[in-house]
Amino acid sequence: MIPGRHEAGETVGDVGEFALIDQMLDGLVDDGRVTVRPGDDAAAFVTEGDTVVTTDVLNEGVHFRTDWSDAEDIGARAVAQNLADLEAMGADVLGVVAAVSVPTTTDAAWVRALSAGMRTECARAGATLLGGDLSSSPHISIAVTALGDLRGRAPVRRGGARPGDVVAVKGRLGWSAAGLFVLTRGFKSPRAVVSAYRVPEVPYGEGRRAAEAGATSMIDVSDGLLADLGHIAEQSGVGIRISSEALDVPDPLQAVAATTGSSPLRFVLTGGEDHALVGTFDQVDVPSDWAIIGRVAEGGGVLVDDEEWDPEEGTGYVHFQR
């Protein structure tokens, strides 16, 4: 947690907007790319190529619960899911801005811890917290905008997969979904999957490696492997065929699945929010340590072992769908 200049127990309303912003931004390290730091009307930074931008919002009760995750984890997660989008485009991460809205009765220490989590995740990725906004609201809402630099490379998009390519993944699949399953049933173990739900392990730097290796398409797994590969298949006009034998199903996922009587592949194939990277490549171009899990074919849709996945097992997350 960032050391505060106020006693614990003071609320956001007690401390005040501008004093709390100063605390949240105190001690930020300049990495040389930022030419106008937080404190002015806007930040400015230097890029070497096209700038890539993405944004996501997290709302209390929809994307996180404060009884499941502490403030630092929530802040880290808000940053991670945005930086994963930059990785999926093959960009170098540059920085983030965050707009945070909280009730005036919120403990100021909670907001400082939220900022600390954001800064910790930025440090993991090599990004910079560029600033943002703080406002009052009946509920906690966190909107993060992330900026990246392609440094002269072309963006890797969803629409470039070609029949004959292989499908490869880097990162964990199903861990966050298993953690959510555990938490919704009132448990906190296996601890590994609960931790994965609270803060994803984004494979930072792998998006650039994939782009430089010649990835023809790429996406981060935010809604589930089947759902996100479906986006690639649709936008590329191809079919994608996954081999279940090629998918890693670690022991913690098997243990959680055993409590449901269902296949652990359900977590791997439909679980989102791990923010692994999945892309398509000419087979000779696949980066080392990426796991080949399938192929690109003529036709359409996503099949598992050449069969349609049972929709009763889920296909991925979609907002507004009941």
Binding annotation for Mg(2+): 41, 54-56, 85, 133, 220, 223
User: Which residue type does 77 have?
Assistant: R
The answer to whether residues 209 and 87 touch, using CB atoms and an 8 Å cutoff, is no
Annotated binding site, which residues? 41, 54-56, 63, 85, 132-133, 158, 220, 222-223, 273, 317
Three-state SS for 141? Answer: strand
Strand pairing of 166-170 and 291-297? antiparallel
The answer to whether residues 75 and 121 touch, using CB atoms and an 8 Å cutoff, is yes
Q: CA 240 → CA 166, 237, 318, distances in Å?
A: 9, 10, 20
**Using CA atoms, how far apart are residues 44 and 142, in angstroms rounded to an integer?**
22
Residues 6+ apart with CB under 8 A from 293: 167, 168, 169, 242, 243, 246, 247, 278
Residue by residue, DSSP assigns 208-253 as HHHHHHT-SEEEE-SS-HHHHHHHHHHHHT-EEEE-GGGS---HHH
**Using CA atoms, how far apart are residues 195 and 256, in angstroms rounded to an integer?**
14
**Using CA atoms, how far apart are residues 221 and 53, in angstroms rounded to an integer?**
18
Annotated binding site for substrate, which residues? 63, 273, 317
**Using CA atoms, how far apart are residues 266 and 315, in angstroms rounded to an integer?**
9
Annotated binding site for ATP, which residues? 132-133, 158, 222
